[in-house]
Amino acid sequence: VSPTIYDVAERAGVSIATVSRALNGRSYLRAETRDRVLQAVRDLHFVPNGAARGLSSGSKRVLGLLFIRSSGADEMLELEGESLLFTDSVIRGAELSAYKCGYSLLLSGVDSGDLSPDVSALTGKCDGLIVLDRVVSERRVAPLAKRIPTVLLAGSGRSRSAVTVRVDNAAAVQQLTEHLAVHHGYRRMAFLSGFANSPDSVARLEEFRRAAAEYGATVEDDPLWSSDYTATGAVHALDRRLAAGRPLPDAIACANDQAAIGVMHALQRAGVRVPGDVAVTGFDDIPVGRHVLPPLTTVRQPTQQLGSAAVVALVKLIEDSGQFQREIVLPTRVIIRASCGCDLASPHAYDRPMEADLAT
Amino acid sequence: VSPTIYDVAERAGVSIATVSRALNGRSYLRAETRDRVLQAVRDLHFVPNGAARGLSSGSKRVLGLLFIRSSGADEMLELEGESLLFTDSVIRGAELSAYKCGYSLLLSGVDSGDLSPDVSALTGKCDGLIVLDRVVSERRVAPLAKRIPTVLLAGSGRSRSAVTVRVDNAAAVQQLTEHLAVHHGYRRMAFLSGFANSPDSVARLEEFRRAAAEYGATVEDDPLWSSDYTATGAVHALDRRLAAGRPLPDAIACANDQAAIGVMHALQRAGVRVPGDVAVTGFDDIPVGRHVLPPLTTVRQPTQQLGSAAVVALVKLIEDSGQFQREIVLPTRVIIRASCGCDLASPHAYDRPMEADLAT
DNA sequence: TTGTAAGCGTTATCAC
DNA sequence: GTGATAACGCTTACAA
The 10s digit of each residue's pLDDT in A247-297 is 999 999 999 998 999 999 999 999 999 999 999 999 998 877 887 889 999
Mean pLDDT of B261-265: 93
Mean pLDDT of A293-321: 93
The single-letter code of the amino acid at B67 is F
Can you give the pLDDT at residue B347?
A: 44
Mean pLDDT of A89-100: 95
Look at residue B351 and tell me whether its pLDDT is greater than 60.
no
Give, in Å, how far the C1' of D3 lies from the CA of B14.
8
pLDDT, chain B, mean: 88
Look at residue A131 and tell me whether its pLDDT is greater than 70.
yes
Q: Is A80 on the interface with B (CB under 8 A)?
A: no
Q: Which of B50, B143, B357 sits opposite A124 (nearest CB)?
A: B50
Task: Please report the beta strands in chain B, taking only residues with DSSP state E, as ranges in sequence order.
Answer: 62-69, 104-111, 128-131, 150-153, 163-167, 188-192, 218-219, 251-254, 279-281, 298-300, 327-330, 333-335
CB-CB contact of A195 with A201 (8 Å): yes
CA distance B191 to A218: 57
The single-letter code of the amino acid at B14 is V
Best A41, A55, A333 member to test B by mutation, with max B CBs in 10 Å, is A55
The residue count of chain B comes to 360
The pTM is what? 0.90
Can you give the pLDDT at residue B82?
A: 53
Which residues on A lie below 8 Å from B54 (Cβ)? 50-51, 54
Q: Is A269 on the interface with B (CB under 8 A)?
A: yes
The reply to whether residue A104 touches residue B121, judged by beta carbons under 8 angstroms, is: yes
Which residues on A lie below 8 Å from B96 (Cβ)? 69, 109
Strands in A251-254's sheet, in edge-to-edge order, are: A218-219, A188-192, A251-254, A279-281
Q: Which nucleotide is nearest to A21 (CA to C1')?
A: D11
Which residues on B lie below 8 Å from A262 (Cβ)? 358
Question: By CB neighbour count within 10 A (0-12 exposed, 13-18 middle, 19+ buried), where does B115 fall?
Answer: exposed
Which residues on B lie below 8 Å from A81 (Cβ)? 89, 287
CA distance A265 to B354: 10
Interior/surface letters A173-183, b for 16+ CB within 10 angstroms, e for the rest: bbbbbebbbee
The single-letter code of the amino acid at A228 is D
The reply to whether residue B355 touches residue A265, judged by beta carbons under 8 angstroms, is: yes
Chain C nucleotides close to protein (CB under 7 A) are 1-5, 7-13
Q: Which of B55, B91, B107 sits opposite A51 (nearest CB)?
A: B55
**Nearest-CA residue of chain B relative to A98?**
B108
Which residues on A lie below 8 Å from B120 (Cβ)? 47
CA distance B121 to B312: 23
Which one is predicted more confidently, B343 or B84? B343
Mean pLDDT of B47-74: 87
Give, in Å, how far the C1' of D14 lies from the CA of A121.
37
**If we measure between CA atoms, which residue out of A18, A11, A91 comes closest to residue A44?**
A11
Can you give the pLDDT at residue A344?
A: 63
Look at residue B44 and tell me whether its pLDDT is greater than 80.
yes
Look at residue B105 and tell me whether its pLDDT is greater than 90.
yes
Look at residue A122 and tell me whether its pLDDT is greater than 50.
yes
Which secondary structure element, helix H or strand E, spans residue B92, and what is its range?
A: helix B84-100
Q: Following DSSP, what letter does each residue of B338-351 receive, concatenated?
A: STTS--TTSTT--S
Can you give the pLDDT at residue A338?
A: 94
Count CA atoms closer than 13 A to B290's CA, side-chain side: 22
Can you give the pLDDT at residue A179?
A: 97
Question: By CB neighbour count within 10 A (0-12 exposed, 13-18 middle, 19+ buried), where does B221 fall?
Answer: exposed
The reply to whether residue B105 touches residue A106, judged by beta carbons under 8 angstroms, is: yes
Can you give the pLDDT at residue A84?
A: 65
Cα of A180 to nearest chain B Cα, Å: 26
Count CA atoms closer than 13 A to B229's CA, side-chain side: 25
Look at residue A13 and tell me whether its pLDDT is greater than 60.
yes
Can you give the pLDDT at residue B77?
A: 44
CB atoms within 10 A of CB B359: 11
Predicted confidence (pLDDT) per residue in B190-248, tens digit: 999 998 888 899 999 999 999 999 999 999 999 999 998 888 899 999 999 999 999 99
Look at residue A81 and tell me whether its pLDDT is greater than 80.
no
Q: Is A142 on the interface with B (CB under 8 A)?
A: no
How would residue A349 be classed by pLDDT, with cut points 50, 70 and 90?
very low
CA distance A148 to A138: 16
Look at residue B358 and tell me whether its pLDDT is greater than 80.
no
Which one is predicted more confidently, A74 or A33? A33
**Nearest-CA residue of chain B relative to A45?**
B147
CA distance A293 to B326: 47
Give, in Å, how far the C1' of C3 lies from the CA of B129.
36
Look at residue B80 and tell me whether its pLDDT is greater than 70.
no
CB atoms within 10 A of CB B271: 8
How would residue B345 be classed by pLDDT, with cut points 50, 70 and 90?
low
CA distance A118 to B323: 33
A37-41, B30-34, B121-125, B140-144: segment of lowest average pLDDT: B140-144
**Nearest-CA residue of chain A relative to B288?**
A288
Give, in Å, how far the C1' of D9 lies from the CA of B69.
32
Look at residue A55 and tell me whether its pLDDT is greater than 90.
yes
pLDDT, chain A, mean: 88
Q: Is B69 on the interface with A (CB under 8 A)?
A: yes
Look at residue A151 and tell me whether its pLDDT is greater than 70.
yes
Best B263, B290, B358 member to test A by mutation, with max A CBs in 10 Å, is B358
Which secondary structure element, helix H or strand E, spans residue A43, and what is its range?
A: helix A31-44
- Each as own residue / partner, the long-range contacts of residues B319-326 (CB below 8 Å, 24 or more positions apart, any chain) are B321/B149, B324/B163, B325/B163, B326/B160, B326/B163, B326/B164
CB-CB contact of B290 with B351 (8 Å): yes
Measured CA distances, A313 to A150, B8, B118, B215 (Å): 9, 32, 25, 59
